[in-house]
């Protein structure tokens, strides 16, 4: 899932950016950039990586 969307949703629940980053670290969330000027994506560590060339992702496994 796009990191900007994750931060936006967390703010809706009054979760600070710092607390969200701590939770990301504690849970072992992985990040990947979708291209040179693309967005940062977050995913569970055991999920299939985003296909950066095709831009497809497995909905069940991404945050």
pLDDT in tens, 2-45: 999 999 999 999 999 999 999 999 999 999 999 888 999 999 88
Identify the domain containing residue 24 by its residue range.
Answer: 1-63
The whole model's pTM is what? 0.66
| Residues 58, 48: Cα–Cα separation, whole Å | 7
Confidence at residue 17, expressed as pLDDT on a 0 to 100 scale:
97
Name which of 30, 38, 39 is nearest 5 in CA terms: 39
| Number of domains present in the structure of the chain | 1
How does DSSP classify residue 31? E
Token pair 């999920």: residue: 47
Residue 12: CB partners within 8 Å, gap ≥ 6? none
Confidence at residue 22, expressed as pLDDT on a 0 to 100 scale:
97
Instruction: Name the helix (H) or strand (E) containing 20.
Output: helix 17-27
């Amino acid at each position: 899932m796009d990191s900007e969307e994750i931060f936006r949703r967390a703010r809706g629940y009054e979760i600070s950016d710092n607390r969200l980053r701590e939770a990301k670290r504690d849970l072992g969330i992985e990040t990947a950039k979708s291209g040179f000027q693309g967005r940062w994506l977050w995913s569970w560590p055991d999920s299939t990586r985003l296909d950066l060339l095709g831009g497809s992702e497995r909905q069940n496994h991404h945050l």
